[in-house]
Amino acid sequence: MNGDWIQLWVERQAVDPAASTAGHTLQLLLGRDAPVRVGRADLWELQAEGAPGDAASRFETWMRASNLFLNPNRDRGVVLEGVAPVPGPSAASVVTVERGLADSRAHALTLGHALGGRWRVRRGTVWTLLWPPERADEVAVLADRAAWARRRSSGLLVNPESQDAVVLVGTWACPALPGAEGGTPAQLENGGSDGGVA
């Protein structure tokens, strides 16, 4: 974890239907070049200013009791320690956000009320794509083909007309969601974009 950012990874405890459908569709599109496994997770990235105490541990305690970021009956949540739970060197992470809509003011205000200080909360999706180990050298190219929906006949996970994304291979980033340079919690206190909840 970067000193400024907290990363929360939320995925389904059971099979994720969107991930399995994406995997099947990529098989139709890419044939033998398709990933053998597709996973999906919500990625929350949070920044705190002026929150008392250890913001990360206080956030985790509160988050697990609140249901605001995950449903404990359905989801599994992990506060990341600098790396994503990605299964090995032949995997890629496609990290995507809705352009201009990643910040959630509702979540930021709720955390401010609950934990004090000013918060910035961003939300995106991580698609985890896995290929057989013998194709590890090709993962960057294959992930690019799977990710970008630039044509009807290729790509699925990101429509670049409305979404921003980064494709990470063999590495992780903190923050990972594109567009994090938008401002500090204080600068965004009157900004943000949505009232959505988990």
Partner 1 sequence: MRPRVALVRLPGMNCEDETARALEAAGLEVRPVAWDEPPSALAGFEAYVLPGGFSYQDRVRAGAIAAKDPRLEVIAQAADRGTPVLGICNGAQILVEAGLVPGGAPGDDSIALALATNHLGAARGYHARWVVLEARGGSPWTEAYAPGERIPMPMAHGEGRFTAKDPGRMPLLLARGQVPFTYAQGAAAGEARGWPDNPNGSEANAAGVTNARGNVLALMPHPERAERMFHVPPDLAGPWGERRRRARGDNAAMYAKGPGHGLFLSLAWSLGVRATAEAG
Select from 7-15, 99-107, 137-145, 168-176 the region that touches partner 1 (CB under 8 A).
Answer: 99-107
Token pair in block for residue 44: 């929350």
For partner 1, which is the closer residue by CB, 156 or 169? 156
CB of 126 to partner 1, least distance (A): 13
CB of 56 to partner 1, least distance (A): 28
C-alpha 126/C-alpha 186 separation (Å) is 27
Q: How many residues does the chain have?
A: 198
For partner 1, which is the closer residue by CB, 66 or 193? 193
Fill in the per-residue mask, 111 to 150: x = in contact with partner 1 (CB under 8 A), - = not in contact: --------------------------------------xx
**Distance set, CA 142 to CA 12, 22, 31, 66, 162 (Å):** 25, 15, 11, 39, 22
CA of residue 41 relative to chain centroid, distance: 6
The CA-based dihedral angle spanning residues 132, 138, 141, 143, taken in that order and rounded to the nearest 10 degrees? 20
Residue of 116, 160, 179, 182 that binds partner 1 (CB under 8 A): 160
CB of 145 to partner 1, least distance (A): 13
- Applying CB under 8 A, does 163 fall inside the site for partner 1? yes
C-alpha 154/C-alpha 19 separation (Å) is 17
Q: Which residue in the block uniquely carries the two structure tokens 């000193």?
A: 3
Residue of 162, 171, 184, 187 that binds partner 1 (CB under 8 A): 162
CB of 162 to partner 1, least distance (A): 3
All residues at 6 or more sequence positions from 64 whose CB lies less than 8 Å from its CB, including other chains: 72, 77
Residues that bind partner 1 (CB under 8 A): 17-18, 21-22, 25, 28-29, 98-101, 105, 149-153, 156-157, 159-163, 193-196
